[in-house]
Amino acid sequence: MSKSFLFGPGGSEITVRGTAPRYEVARDGRCESVEARSLPDGRISLLFADGRQVSGRARRRGGEEVEISTPSGRRRLVVTDPLRARLSSIREHAAAGGPEMEEVRALMPGRVVDVSVAAGDSVEAGGLLLVLEAMKMQNELRATHGGVVLQCAIAAGQTVDAGALLLTIQ
Amino acid sequence: MSKSFLFGPGGSEITVRGTAPRYEVARDGRCESVEARSLPDGRISLLFADGRQVSGRARRRGGEEVEISTPSGRRRLVVTDPLRARLSSIREHAAAGGPEMEEVRALMPGRVVDVSVAAGDSVEAGGLLLVLEAMKMQNELRATHGGVVLQCAIAAGQTVDAGALLLTIQ
Amino acid sequence: MRLLVANRGEIAVRIFRACRDLGIETVAVFSDADRAAPHVAMADYAVRLGPAPARESYLSIDRLLEAARTTSANLIHPGYGFLAESAPFARACREGGFLFVGPSPEVIESMGAKTVSRQRMTEAGVPVVPGMLSPAASAAEIGEFARRAGYPILLKASAGGGGKGMRRVDGEAELAAAFERASAEAQMYFGDGAVYAEKLVENPRHIEVQIVGDRRGGAVALGERECSLQRRHQKVVEECPSPVVTPEIRSRLSDAALAAARAVGYDSCGTVEFLLAPDSTFYFLEMNTRLQVEHPVTEAVWGVDLAAEMIRVALGDSLSEEVRRAEARGHAIECRIYAEDPARGFAPSPGTITALRQPSGPGVRADMGVEAGSVVPLDYDPMLGKLIVHGKDRAQAIARLGRALLEFEILGVDTTLPLFRWLLGESDFVSARFDVQWLDRRLEGGAVLERSGSSADEVVLAAVALASEAAGESGSRPDASHRSAWRQAGKIEGLRGS
Amino acid sequence: MRLLVANRGEIAVRIFRACRDLGIETVAVFSDADRAAPHVAMADYAVRLGPAPARESYLSIDRLLEAARTTSANLIHPGYGFLAESAPFARACREGGFLFVGPSPEVIESMGAKTVSRQRMTEAGVPVVPGMLSPAASAAEIGEFARRAGYPILLKASAGGGGKGMRRVDGEAELAAAFERASAEAQMYFGDGAVYAEKLVENPRHIEVQIVGDRRGGAVALGERECSLQRRHQKVVEECPSPVVTPEIRSRLSDAALAAARAVGYDSCGTVEFLLAPDSTFYFLEMNTRLQVEHPVTEAVWGVDLAAEMIRVALGDSLSEEVRRAEARGHAIECRIYAEDPARGFAPSPGTITALRQPSGPGVRADMGVEAGSVVPLDYDPMLGKLIVHGKDRAQAIARLGRALLEFEILGVDTTLPLFRWLLGESDFVSARFDVQWLDRRLEGGAVLERSGSSADEVVLAAVALASEAAGESGSRPDASHRSAWRQAGKIEGLRGS
């Protein structure tokens, strides 16, 4: 098994090769050997040649995204496989310029308390779009930039799941 | 779903009927209603009509045997389904008299340190059969009654699992 | 003896533990969202109140009293939040023939109305923030007040609230113009131009004193708690004792708190909150007529069981010997663990807790209202529980907090645990240099997000990622609430509620 | 600073927690049975020692020192058990350039040899059980000793051990015949008829005093622990303080323990064990030159961190202020949780822990060496961890123990938790009427097995069974180690090891 990992767009790039429990980790041409063992709670315990031990956990977040938690904190990284192709595609994507069409999605499940706009309305950056209530908190969703509301997928009173499309703004 | 439960050979007998989450529990002709809900940790929370709440856990032990743990303690019971047939068969079995052939099995995984008998040997009640070492403790297995060793399934130095046959005594 | 807790979550669990220690039977109530919650599974009796929304369940006085009648409960404990400081609830309990575990409805009422409580505290000699008792007719009248109280002062709309129409004045030169503008704003916002002035306490700390009174006239103060670490006026981390309160200030604070308690005949566990100014003067803020979220830090340091004591005095017992003779030992810190994501502006993160690894060992206590598999519902305050550490002094408490946070793991929902890990690296926290605005100021710059994970070795991360995938540990179903959260981070920032 | 713990399980976890509190890096060692154990996963460094058998791993001095060299550790902590009281190991650490966290090899040696320690204690004025220093030439010589020491006495074979050849004598009338028989037995068992006499302490309690000494001559005694609840000479439940030790006895015990410590220049954490007779006389038993399993009860009551203090003094620090000025507060009880089944004669129960629900809340600490999913190996002592409760007094500690035991759940292996639940219902335990033989006497009749589950409502059990089956919760794979255990109970009793 061999995969490469990218640390944020434009970040460093690390390749890991091997089969359980022994892996080789390469960065900038330097290579380290590590023994990896699954722990009962789903974490992975790594043991390096110098005796260093770190236990951490990986959770998939999206298609190519993995979140790793270790005692030093949490970071997200992108699995790139094969490396070059993905890398360039991500860079192209990042360079493609500002948003043309923005989908406003619910960040958490909740109830739509109020919708301040309708399809066809013009909105300014910072303008109130709607109010979503979750866990006793009212969250005001505001536009990040000016535009026209193309679609309004919800109505006041409706309950929405995390990730649900609320509005589309052009 | 309907099942009856027997509390030890010759113990009382209780029938439970219904589908989740509502069940009727009958004992001695009296019937109680109970709501049962699975908890995240696998326990069952029971709620009786008078508000009584008890959370407990069931674990299967053998084919017909279930061990129930509640805050009041732990007990084993036998699922009898259909009731009458099982009940009588168990009673017959219990009445069938003393042991004719005894299988001596390992109560815990361990290492056989010493075997004091061989096939064909006569043993007296209380006579040492073998020594099993587990978790730093030496356990001397002794005969419960006199007899002849029919079979000796293990040798000193061997590692055995829990439940493994060690000796057969007639 | 049977006690019903009209609450849910960790405080219901906490009170049930006290009941078990006292040999009192327990009655849980639950909404449809909480049938499988830990507080229900540990109770001797449990009664469904209604659907998830609080007004149809935990806030329904009728249903709560009905549940108490059904289960023949003798006592009703309100916990905190919900109906904990509702005089009508306390009165309904009394009239229904139940013992309410808390002060009388009259005491709750007298401390609930700010103006009444301010008046009674002034009469009892408890210092309150100096302020005018009626609207000012002119800038000159305010000037007169300011000369007595000292600048800076704060102009407030008499009809106002929520910070609108408030205006700071640093000296006499600014006064006339400020008065004009404040009055105009008050007219605009509230349709009433009346304005009055209060002394402005700058860079205050929030310090509160724990009191316990019985129904035989006994009352003691059990030291203070430091509650200045707040986010948007919500306490986040609490300590006992306050690192800046000297024995002399403590003695004055305790005297003031006891005077406040005696003035209203306080006969339960309660808290007197003060603002402490940098010059060590302090002012009465309000009195909380309930068991506080942060009571465990006082329990750890003073060696008492406040939840049990509150029940004892409600039953008519005198204050126990160990409460009367309690002495402080060491230092304790509490962290409130919320299902909120500090990296996304503390957005609530409801969902299912897929795994929960609690810390343990010397000086560590975790009071949790959830367990692995629990669903964190949308409908209530998102507090999951509390981590309390105790050590011989503040340095050891902080060290143990760091150790406990290394061991603590909650999966499935985002929590405020990373906030506390970040806090341990803040020199202002370690040296106790903070006031009530400090945390909000530090969070403005997205500080928590920045530090998170920055020290992690990337070789380690990559190796964990691959080994985890090889072992099938990383999970095949991505968590919906986090889908592509990294790339969306920019967008999320822009959408965050104000 | 980097510390290697030459141990496993809960004591390795405990010492690593102390290290984290002190800011010291940690090195775990492990056998092949422990690669995934909690103590390894929490360490900064980890080194494989060898295969599972202890002599090839945790008892291998060479491999331990090699691990310390590989990871550049400065300190080596032996924990308890394994090499904790091995003078050769302490010496090898010193000679290898490592700081051994414990007393010097010379001290370990002097306290390890029973006759030497008895001699030194007598010289230091510490009371030892009165006994003859050389074999008796005749019954008359023993009679002379008995007249000084008082009856009953115990005749012992000089060459003996393990209880063989011991004979109780209650009065002078029995002496001549007893001497004949004891001498004959000694000849038979050991090929040497030499016999001597010791005073017999009847119905003794096991009381031990915690001492801490530094390398600058400082030493303090931190009260006593009550360790009389033993099964086959193994401590099962420990308390601090002892419910029968008065301030006057405590003061004499502390003086004796400090005299013992000073006599050997003791410079670490250690324990002086005594037999306490019903008439309040006490006798030196032995000195344990290590951190005891039961140290947390002293930590809870005295508000100190013994594990951290032991490391501090090993580094050459003086005793800390809080240890010097420590005062007792309340009462603590510890239960040792073993993977043994009390219903089957405490048969070891190795296997995989399928679920672990730990108790929490005020006054509760669980120091565990395992977690859910951990495999309990065959190769080592089957202790899983310890439950420690602390309360304002013994009654509250017992109440909290009951509460914690209700919350505690370990699945997959049998444990001694039911033993402690049973103990709470024993009036002799509640009223502290027990001596070192009490538990063995009570267990002889199968007492624990009898009470278990007898109070459970059968309607509840049946309903749980069906609802669980309907929900698919009861598990399709029966646990191998328990197959048909109910019907085999009779057979099992007959097979139990002696």
pLDDT at C64 over 70: yes
| Contact yes or no for D120/D264 (Cβ under 8 A) | yes
- Please tell me the predicted confidence (pLDDT) of residue C374: 96
pLDDT at B13 over 90: no
pLDDT at B150 over 90: no
Q: Which amino acid, C34?
A: D
DSSP structure class, residue D151 = S
Of C14, C118, C250, C290, which is the active-site residue?
Answer: C290
Residue B121 Cα, gap to closest chain D Cα (Å): 18
Q: Check CB contact under 8 Å for D464 and B73.
A: no
Alpha carbon distance D83, C17 (integer Å) = 41
Residue B119 Cα, gap to closest chain D Cα (Å): 19
**How confident is the prediction along chain A (170 residues), in pLDDT tens digits per residue?**
677 776 655 567 788 888 889 999 888 778 899 999 999 999 999 999 999 999 999 988 776 788 888 888 788 777 765 444 444 444 444 444 444 566 777 766 788 888 888 877 888 877 788 887 776 667 777 776 778 887 788 888 888 877 678 888 87
Alpha carbon distance A3, A16 (integer Å) = 6
Q: Which amino acid, D256?
A: A
Among B residues 71-130, those touching chain C with beta carbons less than 8 Å apart: none
- Mutate which: C17, C298, C356, vs D, most D CBs within 10 A: C17
Alpha carbon distance C453, C148 (integer Å) = 52
Alpha carbon distance D461, D193 (integer Å) = 61
- Which tens digit of pLDDT belongs to each residue from D266-291? 999 999 999 999 999 999 988 999 99
Q: Which residues from chain C sit within 8 angstroms of residue D407, using beta carbons?
A: 42
Tell me whether chains C and B touch (3+ CB pairs under 8 A): yes
- Please tell me the predicted confidence (pLDDT) of residue C480: 35
Tell me whether chains A and C touch (3+ CB pairs under 8 A): yes
- Mutate which: C233, C352, C370, C464, vs A, most A CBs within 10 A: C464
Q: Who among C41, C45, C372 is closest to B43 (CB)?
A: C41
pLDDT at B133 over 50: yes
- Please tell me the predicted confidence (pLDDT) of residue C497: 29
Identify the burial level of D62 via C-beta atoms within 10 angstroms of its C-beta, where 0-12 means exposed, 13-18 middle and 19 or more buried: exposed
| Contact yes or no for C71/C26 (Cβ under 8 A) | no
- Which tens digit of pLDDT belongs to each residue from D62-112? 999 999 999 999 999 999 999 999 999 999 999 999 999 999 999 999 887
Tokens 């560590």 belong to which residue? C364
Closest residue by Cα to residue B58 from C372, D415, D475, D339? D475
Helix (H) or strand (E) holding D95: helix D87-95
- Residues D403-420 have a mean pLDDT of 95
- Please tell me the predicted confidence (pLDDT) of residue C456: 63
Alpha carbon distance B131, B142 (integer Å) = 9
Among D residues 370-429, those touching chain B with beta carbons less than 8 Å apart: 378-382, 406, 409, 411, 418, 421
Q: Check CB contact under 8 Å for C41 and B50.
A: no
Residue A121 Cα, gap to closest chain C Cα (Å): 18
CB of D255 within 8 Å of a chain A CB? The answer is no
Residue C468 Cα, gap to closest chain D Cα (Å): 15
- Please tell me the predicted confidence (pLDDT) of residue B96: 43
Residue C66 Cα, gap to closest chain B Cα (Å): 12
Is residue B134 very low, low, confident or very high in pLDDT (cuts 50, 70, 90)?
confident
For chain C, percent of residues with pLDDT exceeding 90 = 76
- Please tell me the predicted confidence (pLDDT) of residue B94: 44
Alpha carbon distance D24, D40 (integer Å) = 16
Tokens 């749980």 belong to which residue? D464
CB of C36 within 8 Å of a chain B CB? The answer is yes
- Please tell me the predicted confidence (pLDDT) of residue C325: 95
- Please tell me the predicted confidence (pLDDT) of residue C163: 61
Q: Which amino acid, D63?
A: R
Q: Check CB contact under 8 Å for C44 and B53.
A: yes
Q: Which amino acid, B140?
A: E
| Contact yes or no for D180/D173 (Cβ under 8 A) | no
Bridge partners, residue B128, by sequence = B142
CB of B166 within 8 Å of a chain D CB? The answer is no
Bridge partners, residue D231, by sequence = D234
Three-state secondary structure string covering chain C: CEEEECCCHHHHHHHHHHHHHHCCEEEEEEEHHHCCCHHHHCCCEEEEEECCCHHHCCCCHHHHHHHHHHCCCCEEECCCCCCCCCHHHHHHHHHCCCEECCCCHHHHHHHHCHHHHHHHHHHCCCCECCECCCCCCCHHHHHHHHHHHCCCEEEEECCCCCCCCCEEECCHHHHHHHHHHHHHHHHHHHCCCCEEEEECCCCCEEEEEEEEECCCCCEEEEEEEEEEEEECCEEEEEEECCCCCCHHHHHHHHHHHHHHHHHCCCCCEEEEEEEECCCCCEEEEEEECCCCCCHHHHHHHHCCCHHHHHHHHHCCCCCCHHHHCCCCCCEEEEEEEECEEHHHCCEECCEECCEEECCCCCCEEEEECCCCCCEECCCCCCEEEEEEEEECCHHHHHHHHHHHHHHCEEECCCCCHHHHHHHCCCHHHHCCCCCCCHHHHHHHCCHHHHHCCCCCCHHHHHHHHHHHHHCCCCCCCCCHHHCCCCCCHHHHHHHCCC
Q: Who among B54, B110, B163 is closest to D378 (CB)?
A: B110
DSSP string, D228-276: EEEETTEEEEEEES-TT--HHHHHHHHHHHHHHHHHTT--SEEEEEEEE
Q: Is the peptide bond before D51 cis (omega within 30 degrees of 0)?
A: no
pTM of structure: 0.84
Bridge partners, residue D195, by sequence = D157
User: Which of B52-66, C71-85, D436-450 shows the lowest per-residue confidence on average (mean pLDDT)?
Assistant: D436-450
Among A residues 16-35, those touching chain C with beta carbons less than 8 Å apart: 16, 19-21, 23, 25, 27, 32, 34
Three-state SS at B120: coil
Among B residues 145-164, those touching chain D with beta carbons less than 8 Å apart: 161-163
Q: Who among C362, C364, C399 is closest to D296 (CB)?
A: C362
Q: Who among C42, C46, C374 is closest to B47 (CB)?
A: C46
- Which tens digit of pLDDT belongs to each residue from D126-167? 999 988 878 888 999 999 999 998 999 999 888 766 566 688
- Please tell me the predicted confidence (pLDDT) of residue C498: 30
Going C326 to C328 to C330 to C334, the CA torsion angle's sign is positive
CA triplet D305, D306, D309: central angle to 5 degrees? 90
Tell me what ipTM this predicted complex has. Answer: 0.82
* β-strand pairing of B159-160 with B122-123: unpaired
Residue B1 Cα, gap to closest chain D Cα (Å): 8
- Both structure tokens of C444: 């403005």
Q: Which amino acid, D91?
A: R
CA triplet D43, D48, D53: central angle to 5 degrees? 120
> Other C-beta atoms within 10 Å of B57: how many?
22
Q: Which residues from chain C sit within 8 angstroms of residue D367, using beta carbons?
A: 360-361
Of D118, D225, D290, D344, which is the active-site residue?
Answer: D290
- Mutate which: C17, C40, C410, vs B, most B CBs within 10 A: C40
pLDDT at B6 over 70: no
- Which tens digit of pLDDT belongs to each residue from D332-355? 999 999 999 998 889 999 999 999
Alpha carbon distance D123, D362 (integer Å) = 46
Least CA distance to C389: which residue of chain D? D362
Q: Which residues from chain A sit within 8 angstroms of residue D412, using beta carbons?
A: none
- Residues C154-172 have a mean pLDDT of 80
- Please tell me the predicted confidence (pLDDT) of residue C488: 29
- Please tell me the predicted confidence (pLDDT) of residue A90: 44
In the residue annotation, D290 being an active-site residue is answered as yes
| Contact yes or no for B14/B25 (Cβ under 8 A) | yes
- Which tens digit of pLDDT belongs to each residue from A67-99? 888 888 788 777 765 444 444 444 444 444 444
- Please tell me the predicted confidence (pLDDT) of residue C469: 82
- Which tens digit of pLDDT belongs to each residue from B19-40? 889 999 888 778 899 999 999 9
